[in-house]
Chain A
Amino acid sequence: MTTNGISRRGALRMFGIGALGVAGAGVLGACAPSGASTSTNGGDTKSKNFDFTSWSLNEEAAKPSIEKIIKAWETEQKSKIRAVSYPYNEYLSQLTLKLGGGETTGAVHLDIAWLAAVAQMGKLADLGSVAGKGGYTDVALNSGKYDGKQYGLPWNTGSIGLIANSKLLKKAGIDKQPTTVEEFEDALRELKGLGGGVVPYAAATKVAQLKDIFPWMQTFGCKLLDGEKVTIGDDASIDAVTWYKKLHDAKLIAADVDRFDARALFSQGKAAFYDDAIIGKGVTSAQSKDKTLADAMQPVPRPVLKAGDTPQALLWGGVIAIVKGKGQDAATDFALHATTDPETIAQYFVERALPPSTTAGLADPKVAKDTFTTEWTEKITKTATGSPFWQFAQNAQIEEAVAKQVQAVLVGKSKPKDAMKQAGEEVSDLIKR
């Protein structure tokens, strides 16, 4: 009996077989009789029973509230909703696979950043005729649009902006929120003077969240994308990154900070400003031992380059889209109900502190009495815009490419001009794919 090791010829043969296998597997995948694609999301559009897919259906903080909405609908309409869920970080890839495979039907909860990528698959229904009935705000309605069509009914509409700790600001003698970049920088220097390890601005400096640089680039005048031309690499983007680097070197922002670190620092009273979504108030204050922190948290419009400019913020929120086919009509009614029914959205706000997307919802006493939410909506969400890169399926790679270059600047491995030029080229290449 012989047990020969792998010879060179054997290894080559093995690689050959491997390559063939990979090709074969691809062919097999492509040729597999995917019930999916043929019956693709087909079925009775009038069916009262449908699926509702949402990442929140798994999360302890969100699950009970959504289950309550589902239960109420099932009882009232005598229908059956199958709750489907995937973890947030896996959601888009799982949904894309299953939507393509015909497994997903009914209503689908989408982050507004994913809407374009999913809509491009051609499986979502146009909800233009329904959206007009909802009384949504203009900003909210726009968050559900792609390529001029209304693919999503806005559920919650907010933005990612700056949050300040008013107690720390007061302690540093800052009695007015900074409105320009210059004032902001002065305020950060005052805050640094407090000592005690205070990070004046817990800005993102880790790749994972360095996409927060985009609104700052826009603040400095960079459009990011002008038509089909990527403008990262222009003077404005270089100025923005040079300024960010200046804050870093002056220790006004700290190294190695992502959203989780920023929240931890802020909750310990060791950061005066940080970037977060509107829901950050609840999440961050819950981590804090200081039970008065929530009251000290204030939304701050992002400082502008010169007085009179429009403050920049990234739109943030969720929409409900409808998959063409089985249960389409009932799922549409459900989505409209969940996003516009006054009682339902007011209760959902009370339980989750997520801002409603309708004018009536925002005016509801339960919402209106929450000054943080109303101020946020007025000061930040009002001028927030979506990222021009959301329309590309490669959005995540685009954000990562830019983030890596910005980080290279922060750690001194690259000059802002070179890094932004490189980032611009990489983004252009990604868009062309």
Chain B
Amino acid sequence: MTTTTPMTSSQLTGTDQLSGAARTPSATTGQTSRRRIRKDVLRSRIAAWTAVVVIGCFGLLPVYWLLATALSTPESTFQFPPKLIPTDLTLSNFTALAENDQLIKYLVNSMIVATITAVLSVVVATYMGYSFSKFRYRGRRSLMHMVLASQMFPQALLLVTLYAVFSSFGLLNTYTALVLSFTTFTMPLCVWMLKGIFDTIPDALLEAASIDGASRWRTLHSIVAPLAAPGMIAAGLFAFVRGWNDFIFAVTLADKEKQTLPPGLVSTYIGEFQTAWPELMAASLVVSVPVVVAFMFLQRYLVGGMTAGSVK
């Protein structure tokens, strides 16, 4: 994006009058000033492009490295010093991935658990957020703060507690244990996100619905929820990604049958003596696809949802 400084009439005149060697002082001044403007524009363009390239490299180099390693043979992966552009390219890491049934199982587990976590988080957070936003009752603020404070618990502490509780209820190694544990850390932020969105919905609208005879239930589901849909999608996406990426809860609370991708990938490719980097990178690339696709389709909701409530 470029900006131009409006020229004064004298400058314009000066420009028009420029011819051969017969230059008046005002014409020279005008030319100098235009040159300066052009230089400034050029400088700002160079600066902008440099910034874009540097930030682009910073953001994209890891992705490029991921792709390059996924397409490399083990020998060239360990080349020292490493080559920026790999020479021995292969697709064998991707084909090996497709043949690994256990990884497919981890992928399916991740999909199930992250999706249910997202839905559960949004459903519960919608009611909680709505309650915090639109109702006044004793202990409301304390409850709100308690929800937020629960984010401050160290994950390891929660993990040991959850492990003991799930163990006593016989829930270890089940989807339920994973969904409930993931929800413990996705819920608080979802609640606060949705409360912020509900705050932006005018009370007058709810009052009008009430006058028209809508019950509170109906008001929430038919009027408030559609208006807050972008925020709910954003919260759901946030919960999905947190559930999709979790390692420590999944490795502790689930066995091989119910384990999700992050611990599955680590178990499969990172061993005692060596790490199968090309296969690990190929797998990481493939498993990040669902999240990328989800972001691509939902990004407009995400931006809308995240910023909703920021301006009243």
Taking beta carbons and an 8 Å cutoff, which residues of A are in contact with B? 1, 3, 6, 10, 13-15, 17-18, 21-22, 25-26, 28-29, 32-36, 55-56, 58-62, 83-90, 94, 97, 101-103, 260-261, 263-265, 267-268, 270, 277, 279-280, 283, 286-289
* Total chain B interface residues with beta-carbon distance under 8 A: 49
Q: How far is the CA of A55 from the CA of B263 in the complex (A)?
A: 12
Interface centre among B161, B256, B272, by most chain A C-beta atoms within 10 angstroms, is: B272
- Cβ of B80 within 8 Å of any chain A Cβ, yes or no, is yes
Other A-B pairs, 15, CB within 8 Å; known A17-B142, A22-B154: A13-B142, A18-B153, A21-B146, A22-B153, A29-B165, A34-B167, A60-B271, A87-B251, A87-B263, A88-B272, A97-B163, A97-B252, A263-B78, A267-B78, A287-B75
* Binary A-proximity of B191-223 (CB < 8 A = 1, otherwise 0): 000011001000100000000000000000000
18 contacts between A and B (CB under 8 A): A1-B199, A3-B199, A17-B142, A17-B146, A18-B152, A25-B161, A28-B165, A32-B165, A33-B168, A34-B164, A35-B168, A55-B272, A60-B269, A62-B271, A87-B251, A87-B267, A260-B274, A265-B80
A29 pairs with B160, CB closer than 8 A: yes
A90 and B251 within 8 A (CB): yes
Task: Count CB-based A-B contacts (< 8 Å).
Answer: 140
- Asked, given contacts A14-B149, A87-B263, whether A3 binds B196 with beta carbons under 8 Å apart, the answer is yes
**Contact (Cβ within 8 A) B145 A14:** yes
| Shortest distance from the beta carbon of B307 to any chain A beta carbon, whole Å | 15
Complex-state Cα separation, A418 to B165, whole angstroms: 48
* Chain B contact surface mostly: helix
Partner of A87, one of B78, B152, B154, B270: B270
Note all chain A residues with C-beta closer than 8 A to B141.
Answer: 10, 13
What 0/1 pattern do residues 154 to 195 of B give for CB contact below 8 A with A? Answer: 100110110111011010100000000000000000000001
Whole-angstrom distance from the CB of B299 to the nearest CB of chain A? 26
The answer to whether A13 touches B267, judged by C-beta atoms less than 8 angstroms apart, is no
Interface membership of B11, Cβ < 8 A: no
Pair A58/B80 contact, Cβ less than 8 Å: no
Whether B61 is near chain A, meaning CB under 8 Å from some CB there, is: no
Q: Is B266 an interface position by the 8 A CB rule?
A: yes
A22 touches B168 (CB 8 A): no
Residue of B nearest to A199 (CB): B80
B51-98 with Cβ < 8 A to chain A: 74-75, 78-80
Task: Tell me the B265-279 residues at the A interface (CB within 8 Å).
Answer: 266-276
| B133, CB-defined interface residue at 8 Å | yes
CB of B150 closer than 8 Å to a CB of A:
yes
Query: What residues of B have a CB within 8 angstroms of the CB of A3 in the complex?
Result: 133, 195-196, 199, 309
The one of B75, B145, B164 that contacts A17, using a Cβ cutoff of 8 Å: B145
Residues of A within 8 A of B263 (CB): 87, 90
Inter-chain contacts of B172 with A (CB < 8 A): 103
- Which residues of chain B are within 8 angstroms of A55 by Cβ–Cβ distance? 271-272
Chain A residues whose C-beta falls within 8 Å of the C-beta of B133 in the assembled complex: 1, 3
Which of A29, A89, A263, A270 lies in contact with B164, CB distance below 8 A?
A: A29
Report the Cα distance A68→B304, complex, angstroms.
55
Question: Does B46 make an interface contact (CB < 8 A)?
Answer: no
Question: Which residue of chain A has the shortest Cβ distance to B81 in the bound complex?
Answer: A197
**From A2, which residue of chain B is reached at the shortest CB distance?**
B199
Residue B40 at the A interface, CB < 8 A? Answer: no
Q: Which residues of A contact B134 (CB under 8 A)?
A: 1
- Which among A13, A26, A85, A87 has the highest number of chain B CB atoms within 10 Å? A87
Residue pair A59, B160 in contact (C-beta under 8 Å): no
B154 contacts across to A, CB distance below 8 A: 22
Nearest neighbor of A265 in chain B, beta-carbon distance: B80
Distance between Cα atoms of A260 and B272 in the complex (Å): 12
Q: What residues of B have a CB within 8 angstroms of the CB of A264 in the complex?
A: 78-80
